[in-house]
Structure 1
Amino acid sequence: MSGGVDSSAAAHLLCDAGHEVIGVFMRHGEESSEVCRTDAPQLPVVQRAGHKQGCCTASDAADARRVADRLGIAFYALNLQRDFRRIVDYFVDDYTRGRTPNPCVQCNNWIKFGRLFDYADGVEADFVATGHYAQLAADPDGGVPHLLRGIDSSKDQSYVLYGIRRDRLRRMLLPVGGYTKKRIRELAGEIGLSVADKKDSQEICFVTSGHHSDFVRARRGQDAPSTAGAFVDMEGEVVGQHSGYEAFTVGQRKGLGIALGEPHFVVRIEPETRNVVLGPRPALLRRGLVADDANWLIEPPAVGQTISCSVQIRYNSPPKPARMTIEDASASSFRVEFEQPEEGVAPGQAAVVYDGPRVLGGGWIDCSIS
């Protein structure tokens, strides 16, 4: 329970369905001056002046506690800061490598549907549930449930769930996936939840202020090698200077701080030269990509086998028709060829493979195919 409307409504729906519900809030930010005690009558999370933290602030913890009290369910705050450092390190390392990380995917993989299963086992819980907008459907042959898109296409979050271990689908519940966001807010209001109109978090939860590049530089420290370099055009001519390539991602247009007379986009980031390559929009088009470190929610196709599918390469982009081919015997690498060239194929982002609404699996984009 993050203190937002989605997880709060999810808890209500679970209670309504007859489950014994335990609310869990994840603390994974900076250490507070007061230790969390799960046996305290009020949640003792202290927010220091000027401190904010996306979806996991002290006020969010208080909101979650109030919802739990309103629903009459048990509520615990877990300190997962040590586990979360792994996500922060991954975030910083990927930007330093000239990639564009997705910490929300890794949080689901490692913590929400990783460490929380350990906690669930510890309290003998049957399921782990969240407020993600995605659905689970029974397999007609009695196998592992299918992970599907949520019915609200504008809020669908199946993309960030592709990396969950397949065997854990049997113990997952996604109560809000069959509702629209509008209906979830209405439902929360009807039962008197104080978070019914609370705004959605739009921030990276551990980037507490400023731009993500400021966070990366601070985390790397003053003695780290410089990432400052040059903007270059498609011919390699220097057209400007930048203070660090970690501030940019493939497909970016805004915030370049350079005027070239016509719109230019980040086409490529070269950490070895520290160059950020700019070009016109057509220069972003790619025929395909290669992804690695794949996770499959189906029995993966055999090496060399090609299947027709759709592939989504960003959280906010729609899936596009494509053909996917497994590249190695372990099915950890795959190649995607789009039916039509696509823009903004960014190394470090997830490429998620769908069959209609069903998530088949996915992997991390290693490189694009021109």
Structure 2
Amino acid sequence: MEKGKGRKIVVGMSGGIDSSISLILLKKNGWNPVGVSLKFGTWENSCNNVRENSCCTDESIKTAQKVCMKYSCKHVTLKVGENFHEKVIKYFTETLKSAKTPNPCIICNRYLKFLELFKYAKKNEIEYVATGHYAKITKSKKLGGLFISKPKDKKKDQTYYLALLPQEWLPNIIFPLSNLTKEEVYQMAVEEDLDFYLKLAQSQDFCFVSEKSLKSFVEKEIGVKKGLIINKQGKTLGKHNGLANYTIGQRKNMGLSGGPYFVVEKNVKTNELVVSTKKSDVLKKEIDLISVLFANGIFEKQAGKKEGIKVKVKIRYQHKPASAVIIKDKNTGGRVLYKLVFVKPQLAVTPGQYAVFHIVNSVVGVGEIK
């Protein structure tokens, strides 16, 4: 890690172990960290089990304050609930309405978390921002510029969720955990007398609504229009509880006998959920992408050529990277679309999710699955 030489740096502090250790590492390397906690909102409804946003509960913010106090660092809490609702929850509901599957974390990082941290940094004349994400910023002469790259701990790799960050931000971002494993982070917490972190369970829910409350959230926020479940031949098999409650590739909780059945399509026009007993019907070798962003013009130019660009692609966070070629689609009626052609067909390609392209360990582009 670059030595700080007393320079200030904004550190996004959730109150979790990763952001806390990030602040400590920066302090030990000569930086002057300012811990900044963002106070988001939740879905305000009596049936929501998440009473506070799991990224920033009052308790977790108090923990962040204690860590900052212990290491003689300034701590600030910014209330961004209104922006969170506008940028993240609204995106989430609008995507569900269109029968797509939203990815609020990738949107939140781009349009809220990092944006708010950089706004605070600029206002206070601070040049750098750090977070506890497992990722690296690397420079490559061969690829041409700075890139978000995979960290030492490949199991905790969070580059997928950071793929939308603008190129111009990268020179001013530091990821202190880039060369540490999660186990090493835990060990450091013990050494720093922060071993209470070892007892904290990590939630897998969305930060603003619990998994148990998600169905109620959908019903309340976008309404439920029940419809038919049909097979690919058009035969009616049952009724669904609103297209927003299902995702492509899903094979449980459909109330159908004689399966297993896989969700292969959500038809918004007819309000029908199309299913199949064949796993092969959920496999796709080619997909269309919209809103594609490349790390630089070199890749955009290469994608416009006949041979396209050979990349490794993740179509969701836990997806094993797959070999593919990305090619600019010439027949789009003036709209810039790209086609992703996989070497081997991929399971459960889900509209609304993001495809993130890697060359070696670096993110070179990202696009929304159409």
Q: What range is the shorter-chain TM-score in?
A: 0.7 to 0.9
Letter in 1 for 2:204: Q
Once the two structures are TM-superposed, the CA of residue 216 in structure 1 deviates from its matched residue by 2.4
Q: Which residue of 1 aligns with 2:40?
A: 28
For the 8 Å contact 1:287–1:341, the answer to whether it is kept is yes
Once the two structures are TM-superposed, the CA of residue 97 in structure 1 deviates from its matched residue by 0.5
Q: Distance in 1 between matches of 2:335 and 2:97?
A: 27
Q: Which residue of 2 aligns with 1:15?
A: 27
Q: Which residue of 1 aligns with 2:235?
A: 237
The superposition leaves residues 184-221 of structure 1 with CA deviations (integer Å, 9 ceiling, x where unpaired) of 1111111112553133231111114634232122123x
Q: Distance in 2 between matches of 1:342 and 1:349?
A: 14
Q: 1:311 aligns with which of 304, 313, 325?
A: 313
Q: Distance in 1 between matches of 2:230 and 2:43?
A: 42
Q: Distance in 2 between matches of 1:286 and 1:72?
A: 54
Greater mean deviation of Cα atoms: 97-106 or 64-73: 64-73
Q: Distance in 2 between matches of 1:143 and 1:339?
A: 26
What TM-score, normalized to structure 2? 0.88
Q: 2:256 aligns with which of 255, 258, 268?
A: 258
Q: Which residue of 2 aligns with 1:342?
A: 346
Greater mean deviation of Cα atoms: 162-171 or 293-302: 293-302
Letter in 2 for 1:276: L
What is the aligned residue count? Answer: 346
1:332 and 1:58, CA in 2 relative to 1: closer, same or farther beyond 3 A? farther
Q: Which residue of 2 aligns with 1:82?
A: 82
Q: Distance in 2 between matches of 1:16 and 1:139?
A: 28
The superposition leaves residues 136-183 of structure 1 with CA deviations (integer Å, 9 ceiling, x where unpaired) of 113348964221112212111001111001110011111112211111
Q: 1:200 aligns with which of 199, 202, 207?
A: 202
Q: Which residue of 2 aligns with 1:228?
A: 226
Once the two structures are TM-superposed, the CA of residue 233 in structure 1 deviates from its matched residue by 1.0
* SS of residue paired to 1:93: helix
Residue pairs, 1:136-215, within 5 angstroms: 136-140=137-141, 144-197=145-198, 198-208=200-210, 210-215=212-217
RMSD: 2.4
What TM-score, normalized to structure 1? 0.88
Identity of aligned residues (%): 30
The unaligned stretches of length 5 or more in structure 1 are 33-47
Q: Distance in 1 between matches of 2:42 and 2:232?
A: 42
Q: Distance in 2 between matches of 1:333 and 1:126?
A: 36
Letter in 1 for 2:349: V
Q: Distance in 2 between matches of 1:262 and 1:4?
A: 42
1:53 and 1:162, CA in 2 relative to 1: closer, same or farther beyond 3 A? same
The unaligned stretches of length 5 or more in structure 2 are 1-12
For the 8 Å contact 1:96–1:271, the answer to whether it is kept is no
Q: Distance in 1 between matches of 2:54 and 2:268?
A: 29
1:154 and 1:27, CA in 2 relative to 1: closer, same or farther beyond 3 A? same
For the 8 Å contact 2:218–2:245, the answer to whether it is kept is no
Q: Which runs of 4+ in 1 moved over 6 A?
A: 328-331
Q: Distance in 1 between matches of 2:290 and 2:42?
A: 32
Q: Distance in 2 between matches of 1:250 and 1:354?
A: 24
Q: Which residue of 1 aligns with 2:3?
A: none
* SS of residue paired to 2:252: coil
* SS of residue paired to 1:301: helix
1:211 and 1:338, CA in 2 relative to 1: closer, same or farther beyond 3 A? farther
Q: Distance in 1 between matches of 2:14 and 2:349?
A: 31
Greater mean deviation of Cα atoms: 292-301 or 261-270: 292-301
Q: Distance in 1 between matches of 2:321 and 2:92?
A: 24
Q: Which residue of 1 aligns with 2:106?
A: 105
